[in-house]
Amino acid sequence: MLDKFPMQQILNEEGKVNPDAGIDKISIEQIKHFYYLMLRARLLDKKSVKLQRQGRIGTYVQYEGQEAAQVGSAAALEKGDWMFPTYRDHAATLTFGHSMRNLLLNWRGRIEGGLPPEGINIFPPAIPIASQLPHAAGAAWAEKKRGSDRVSLVYFGDGATSEGDFHEGLNFASVFQVPAVFFNQNNGFAISVPMEKQMNTKTIAQKGLGYDMECARVDGNDILAVYFAVKEAVERARKGEGPTLLEAVTWRYGAHTTADDPSKYRDQSESEKRRETTDPLLRLERYLKNEGEWEDAWTAALQEDINKEIETALEEMENYPEPDMSQLFDHVFDVPTWTIQEQIDEHLAVKGRKS
């Protein structure tokens, strides 16, 4: 089956372009902008890991190494489209316009962390595995019924394809031919379980065949391959040609979360090798150097600007008003059940108030 789903690649590890890939469709300025977006995402990720270690945010879910998959896919959307992320896809949501301050608030357990800026359609990050796929299919169906050309892009990992929600989401999308793009980031591990122990298929892309939908496999560390593959899928969806399943094969350097120790189940030396070979930022750097478009001063200025942005967002997060604990009960039921009401009354009594 691997031969039926070859890995689509535009930019190889040496920063050289496939001559048949249509690279003339994208400018050096756009490629530099992609580099900026990935660098911004990586610096925020590195900072967030440090913040967790310092006790300034809670358990954090890192994504370093997956920047091309997330940034490239998000860049293919238009304002008004829908994005359905997992708990790991803050590089994608940041690219699509999410507030950096709110992304940090999310890791402090704040409800505001799930709220995107006005007019940007980002669903709150899904913590249960695969639950966002039926949501994305439903939103796409709603847009189709409205007669709009808006598209849903939904993210999920390889482990999510073992969940029932994955199959329900794809089946619904296929039956109703909704404008949705199902974007899998195949990191090779569902926490500690390698791909070969959770499925018998050789690819995730081939699972789309069972739902008679377009499906393809791309190099998830090649931002150009990701961008053009998602852009093509989005354009198909806008024209009413149905959903697509894309598998982006990538590699995350760090742990599943800051509470995980990947050395117990994965050879961590592989990550160090990949930093020198398949790294998505290094690949663009090599391309720009090959084209004579790389300047160290430009990169240094980018890092300085991004670090200032991160520090500003961090200051805003840490100066944010303390939460009202009664918010715990606000979104459980429209009308509280008697069990919830008892908890509310008990909480308010401790606070010296009445409901």
pLDDT at 268: 87
Looking from the CA of 310 toward its CB, the CA atoms found within 13 Å total 18
pLDDT above 80 for 3? no
pLDDT confidence band for 1 (50 / 70 / 90): low
Query: 216-225: per-residue pLDDT in tens?
Result: 999 999 999 9
Q: Is the predicted pLDDT of residue 77 greater than 90, yes or no?
A: yes
Q: How confident is the model at residue 328 (pLDDT cuts 50, 70, 90)?
A: confident
259-311 pLDDT, tens per residue? 998 888 888 889 999 999 999 999 999 999 999 999 999 999 999 999 999 99
Question: What stretch(es) of the chain map to CATH 3.40.50.970?
Answer: 23-323
Q: Which CATH class is domain 23-323?
A: alpha beta
- Distance, CA of 38 to CA of 75 (rounded, Å): 11
Which percentage of the chain shows pLDDT scores above 70? Answer: 99
Say what the pLDDT of residue 325 is: 75
What is the mean pLDDT of the segment spanning 156-171? 97
Separation of alpha carbons 62 and 327, rounded Å: 27
Task: Identify the band that residue 353 occupies on the pLDDT scale cut at 50, 70 and 90.
Answer: low
Coil, strand or helix at 245: strand
Pair 156, 194: CB distance under 8 Å: no
Grade residue 354 by pLDDT with cuts at 50, 70 and 90.
low
pLDDT of res. 352: 67
DSSP for 94-112 reads: HHTT--HHHHHHHTTT-GG
Quick: pLDDT tens for 10-45: 999 999 998 888 777 889 999 999 999 999 999 999
306 and 43 in contact (C-beta within 8 Å)?
yes
Tally of CA atoms within 13 A in the half-sphere of 33 that contains its CB: 9
Is the predicted pLDDT of residue 209 greater than 60, yes or no?
A: yes
Catalytic residues: 252, 256, 265
Edge-first strand order for the sheet with 244-249 is 7-8, 214-219, 244-249, 180-186, 152-157, 82-84, 121-122
